[in-house]
Amino acid sequence: MQNILVQTTKFPHVPEGDLERNNGSPGSAFAIWLSQKLSAMGLSCDEVCQEDYGWGFWIKSKEHTIWICVSYAADEDEDGNAIAKPDSEPADWFVSVNFEDPMLLLKPWQWGRFKTGGEEQRKIASLLLDALQAEPEITVVRIE
């Protein structure tokens, strides 16, 4: 998995979507923006969906699927509670790129796919980084 930490005021970071099951994780606008950018680069992106840790979508690339996720990193008080801040202040976001085939260990005839899946993950992460760095309202803080 590759993670990119960014700061931006471009996207709202107020709770949204399913407040009960998915904690109201913000990020749909950011995930949709990323999906549109990657689609414009020729990648096949699925519809954006909410998870309990953020918003994401699948990319079908060659014979692999790659998960792209956006997670809001809220500031916390000393008790670990999220501190709300206005959308006008820069917010921290993690953008994650992950190739995963959970059944791969049970399919030795496909073990070579992991190598090519990892290569595909790195290629898509590079395209994603290009899109983020090209946007003046987004600052890339760290790449993990």
Question: For the segment 57-108, what is each residue's pLDDT rounded down to a tens digit?
Answer: 999 877 778 999 999 998 888 887 777 778 788 999 999 999 876 555 555 5
pTM of the shown model: 0.85
- 95: domain range? 2-143
Q: How far apart are CA 35 and CA 39, in angstroms?
A: 6
Q: What is the tally of structural domains in the chain?
A: 1
Mean pLDDT of 132-142: 97
List CB contacts of 104: < 8 A, sequence separation 6 or more. 110, 111, 113, 114
